A and B are shown apart, each in its own frame.
Chain A
Amino acid sequence: MPQDNDSTTEQNSTENSDFTSITNSDPVLEKKLKILFLEVEVLRQSGYRVPDSVKLGQWKELLEMETRSRRRKYLSYLFGVEKKQENRKKKKDEAKQKREDAMNTAPENTHIRYGLGHNTILIRVYDNTINHFYHSRLIQAMQFSQKLVIDCSYDSHMTSREAQNCGKQLMLMFSDNRIHDNPFDLYLCNARRESNTIKQLVKCIPTIYDLDFPINITEKSYLDLFPKENIVYLTPHCREDLREFDHDAIYIIGAMVDKGNNEPLSLAKAKREGLKMAKLPLDRYLMWGSGGSKSLTLNQMMQILLDIRATGSWDKALQHVPRRKIITTPELQEQCSKKVERPKRQLRYTIKDTSKYC
C-alpha cells in the first residue's frame, strides 16, 4: 500500500496519541521525533525488521537513543515481540475454533458431563486457594522468621533492559521464597517507585503495594531499619567466604544485573557504609567450568540461602547453581592431562553429567 506509506512519512503519523507528553513541547525534540517517524518508515521500506505500530512509551525510548544502530536493534526487538503476540493470538484463535468444533460435535448428554473441567470426583483446587495458603505461611514468616534484605538502589547503574530483567528476577525470587518450607521475611529497601526495576516488578505483581501483600517494600535504607552490627552484605568482590550461615545476622543482597558493568559497586557501597562483607564459598565447593560467569541471578541466590538456612549443608544449597557452569567430567579430564601437578589442598566435588542416569 504505497499510498499509506507516503502519507505517514510526510504528515503526522497515523497514531493520534499525544506526543507532547514525551517531548515536553520542546521544539528540538519534536523535530527529532518527526525525523524518527520518517526513519522508522524508511527502515520498514528497506526491508529491515520493524514493527507495524510503535507505542508511545517506545517512541520515548527511541528518542533517547543516540545512535542509529541502537535504534535499529531496539526496533528489531519490538518486531520480535509484535510477531510473537500475533502468533500467540493466531494460535489462540485456532484453539478456540477447535474447541468450538469439538463442543458442537460432542454427543448430547443431558444429565451430566464428565471431565476435568466439569463433573469429577476430584475437588477442584483453584489457584487462589494455593496463593492464600502460601501467603498465610509468609505472614507467619514475617512475624517470626529471619529477615533478608534486598538492596534496590542500583537502578541508576543499570540500563533499562537490565533493570527490567532485575524486576523479573525479583518476582521470581519472591515466588521461590513463598514456595519454600521456611521462608524469609523479605525487605526490599531503597526501592523507589519510579525506578525501572520496581516498575517492572509492579508489572509482574500488580498488587504488590497492597497493604495485605506479604512483602515489605520501603524507600528507606536498611541502615535506618536494622542495627549495623547485625548486617552482613553479600558481595562477590570481597575476600572472605561465608563459612557458616548465621541465623541472627541480617543478610543483604544487591538487586543488580551487572552483565555490562564490571565495577565492584556492591563492594564500594558496603565499604562506604562500613558494613561486614562476605561472599558465597563457590570456589571452595564447586569446580567452575569454562562456560558461564560466576554471577548468579537473584532467585538462584534466594534458593541457595533458603537451603543453607534450612539444612546447614553447602553441598545441598549449592545444587541450585546451574549445572552448565560447573565443569563436566570430560573437560576435567582434559584439564588434568594438561596440567602436570594439581595442588590437592581443597576438597572439591565435581558434578558428573547425570543426564544419562535419568
Chain B
Amino acid sequence: MSGPLKCIFSLQKCLQTFATLRCLLPSVYISTRECKWSGVNLCPAFRIATFPGPTHSFSTDISKNDTCAVLQSQDEKNSDSDEDNTAQDEDILVSVITKGKQLSSSEWEKIKDQVLAKNRGINGSNIDAITIGLCGRFMQLDMGLSYLEHLSLSGKKLNIATIAQVMRMCYSCRLKGIDEQFILSMYENLHSRCPVLDGYTAESAILGLCLTRHWKVGLDLLDMAKLTCIPGGMEYNVLVKTAYDNNEPNISLRLINEMLQLGRSIRPEVFHAQLDYCNRMSAGEKVERWKMVEEILSMFVEHDLKPTVDVAERIRVWYLEAADPHTEVQAQLSSVTDGGICKSCQKYLNPITITKEEFGALQSAFMDKVVVGADIFRKSTPEEIKEFKNFVKMTAPYDMVIDGLNIAFTAGPKKALSSQALARTLHHVVKYFVMKSKKVLILGRKHMQTWSPCYMDYIYRNAHVFLADNLSQDDPLLLYAALYSGMGTKFLSRDLMRGHAYRLENKSLRSTFKLWQLQHQCQLKYVTQAGKVHLKFPLTFNPMAQVSRDGSWHIPYEMEFVGSPSQSFEAPTTWLCLRSGKSSPSLSQVRHKKISRMS
C-alpha cells in the first residue's frame, strides 16, 4: 500500500474509533503529523466527539430481544426535545460504556471531570443517574457496578434517581444474574428515605423488586404510583409475569383486567409465562394442561387479544399433545378467506353477535351523546332534529341508508366534478339497490336540490330522501337512522366514523358500536359512468378470537408484537385453527363432538 493511502486508511480507522481510543491520544497525534502533507485537514475531527447517528435511539446497537424492549419503552417516553442537550453530552459516556471495559475509581473520576467540564446539560447532581441509566441501556452490568463502587469510595451518597436507575439496570441485565440481597438493600435505602414514591421511582422499584422474593411489595408500589399517574404497560407486564412465575394466578388476572381497562397491551412474555405456569401446575399431565390453556383462550375471546406467532405455535403443539389418541385432531396455522371460511378446516367462522340489550343501549345513547352532544347547535338545529326523528319514525325501517354526498364524490376529486356527474353517480348506486327491491334512505344537504333533475327525479321517486341544512353534519343523522331501523339495516359510506365512535364515552358502548359498524357498513369501491357498481360488503364473520359451537378454536395471531390495538377494518389474515376431527365414538370427550370434515 502506498504511503498516502496507508495514512488515509489508518486515519479512517482512527476517526471511527476515535472516541473509544482516547487513551491512545498520542498515537492519533502522530498519525496527523504524518498526514499533514497530504493536505487533509484533521482539526475538525478532534473537536467533535459525535457519532454520525442519533445517540438516543440505540436500536441498531441493541439486538431486539425482550430485555431491551423493556428499556425502549422508557426511551419512547423520552421526547426528543428532552434528551437533545444531554444526548450530545452523553457521547463520551456512551463511548466509554459500550467499550465494556471495567474502569477503576480514578478512571471514572477522570471521565466524570471530562463530562462535567463540557457544562451543557449534565451537572453534578444528575451525572450519576445518567451514567447508571446508560449502563442499563447497554446492559453493561459490570460497568454499572464498578461505577457504584467508585461512588461509594468517593463517599458520595446516592440520590433517589440513581437508586431507581440501579434497579432498572438490574432488571434489564437480569439474565446475567443479580444478587437478590443487593437489590433488596437498594430498595431498603430508597424506602427509608422516601416512604411515598412518585411514578417514575415506583416503576423502577417494581422492576427491581420483581427479581427478588419480595415482589409482592411491587403491588403496593403500583397502588402508590396510581396516586399521581397512570402506570405504564411495562410495570403491569412485569408484575403479571412475576405473579405467574410465583404461582399466583389470581393476582395476575386482576392485574390483567386492570391493565386492559387502562388500555395497556399485554406483551408476549406474559403469555409465555402463563403457559409455563399451566405447564408447572399440571405437572406434565397433558389433558389437565390443556384445560388450563383453554381458560387462557377464553380470555383471548373475551378481551379480543391477539397473541404473537411464537405463543400461537406453543398452543398449537400443546393442543396436539393433549389430544386423545383415538380422536383425530387438527391444529394448524391457517388463514381465512374473505367469505369467512377457515382454509384448514373449511368451516365458516362465527358471525358477529350483538345482544339485544347492547344494541338497545347503543340506540338510546346514540341520540344523546352523538347527535346532540354537548351542544345541539354544533351539529344541527333542534327543529331539524325533530323533523328528522318524525321522518324516520314514519318511514323506517330501511334496508339501506346511504350517505348521499360521500357516495356522490366517489367519482373523482371534489373540484373537478359537475353536479351532473355527482347526480349520475348517486343515481347509479340507488338504481343498483332498487333493482334488488331494497328500501333505501338517502341523506343529503339542501344544496342537492340544484343537482341535475333527470337523475334526481329517479332518486326522488324510488327512494326516501332527507335533505339536511347546508350547515348541519349529516353523518350522525345517517347513523341514527341506521341504528333506529334495527339489526337488519346496512349503511353505505366511505367514512370511518371514528369521531362519532369517540363521542360514545363508555368503553362497552364503543366496542358495541365498532362491532355494529363492522357488521353493517358497506363501502363503495367504484362506480363507472355506464352504471356498473362495485361494493364492498361488510364482514360476515367475527374477526376476533372465537370458539365455535363444536368446540373448535380460531385465534388470530400476528407475526410481531405490535402493541397498539388494530384500527383497521381489515380482518386479520393469519389464524390458528384448533379442532378435532372424525373420531371413534366411545373414547371421545364430551366437548369434542363429531364433526364432518371435508377431505
Contact = CB atoms under 8 A, between A and B. Distances in A.
B249 to A, nearest CB: 30
Given A6-B157, A271-B471, A265 B198 contact: no
Contact of A45 (B83, B159, B193, B375): B159
Contacts of A31: 196, 227
Contacts of B130: 46-47
Contact of B471 (A43, A48, A237, A272): A237
A5 interface: yes
A268 B378 contact: yes
Interface string A128-139: 000000000000
A6 B159 contact: yes
B470 interface: yes
Nearest to A5: B159
Interface centre among B82, B85, B121, B122, by most chain A C-beta atoms within 10 angstroms, is: B82
A9 B200 contact: no
Interface string A114-134: 000000000000000000000
A68 interface: yes
A42 B125 contact: no
A47 B200 contact: no
Interface stretch (B35-43, B105-113, B161-169, B289-297): B161-169
A38 interface: yes
Nearest to B86: A47
Interface residues of A, number: 44
Contacts of B227: 31-32, 35
Interface stretch (A69-77, A197-205, A221-229, A347-355): A69-77
A35 B228 contact: yes
A282 interface: no
Given A31-B196, A39-B199, A272-B377, A45 B471 contact: no
Interface in B153-198: 156-157, 159-162, 164-165, 193-194, 196-198
A36 B375 CA distance: 36
B165 to A, nearest CB: 7
Interface in A63-109: 66-69, 72-73, 76
A66 B227 CA distance: 10
B237 to A, nearest CB: 18
B82 A239 contact: no
A56 interface: no
B470 A42 contact: no
A38 B198 contact: yes
Given A76-B81, A268-B378, A46 B415 contact: no
B125 to A, nearest CB: 6
A6 B129 contact: no
A322 interface: no
Contacts of B128: 45
Interface in A28-63: 31-32, 34-36, 38-39, 41-49
Contacts of A264: 378
Contacts of A142: none
Nearest to B77: A69
A49 B471 contact: no
A56 B77 CA distance: 27
Given A6-B159, A239-B470, A268-B378, A1 B124 contact: yes
Interface residues of B, number: 44
Nearest to A341: B416
Nearest to B447: A239
Contact of A5 (B125, B198, B201, B377): B125
Contacts of A268: 375, 377-378
Contacts of A3: 157
A47 B228 contact: no
B229 interface: yes
A76 B196 CA distance: 24
Contact of B381 (A1, A10, A238, A271): A271
A238 B196 contact: no
Interface in A218-246: 237-239
B228 A49 contact: no
A238 B471 contact: yes
Given A32-B228, A45-B159, A67-B229, A73 B415 contact: no
Given A45-B129, A46-B130, A38 B197 contact: yes
A287 interface: no
Contacts of A46: 126, 129-130, 133, 161, 164-165, 200
Nearest to A263: B378
A316 interface: no
A239 B162 contact: no
B450 interface: no
B159 A67 contact: no
Contact of A42 (B86, B201, B229, B381): B201
Contact of B160 (A36, A41, A239): A41
B471 A239 contact: yes
A284 interface: no
Nearest 5 CB-CB pairs, A to B? A45-B161, A268-B377, A39-B198, A47-B126, A268-B378
Interface of B: 77, 79, 81-83, 85-86, 121-122, 124-126, 128-130, 133, 156-157, 159-162, 164-165, 193-194, 196-201, 227-230, 375, 377-378, 381, 415-416, 470-471
19 contacts: A2-B125, A5-B125, A6-B160, A10-B193, A35-B196, A36-B228, A38-B160, A38-B196, A38-B201, A39-B199, A41-B160, A46-B164, A48-B82, A72-B79, A238-B471, A271-B471, A272-B375, A341-B416, A343-B415
Interface of A: 1-3, 5-6, 9-10, 31-32, 34-36, 38-39, 41-49, 66-69, 72-73, 76, 237-239, 263-265, 267-269, 271-272, 339, 341, 343
Given A41-B160, A49-B82, A271-B471, 4 more contacts: A6-B159, A45-B128, A47-B130, A264-B378
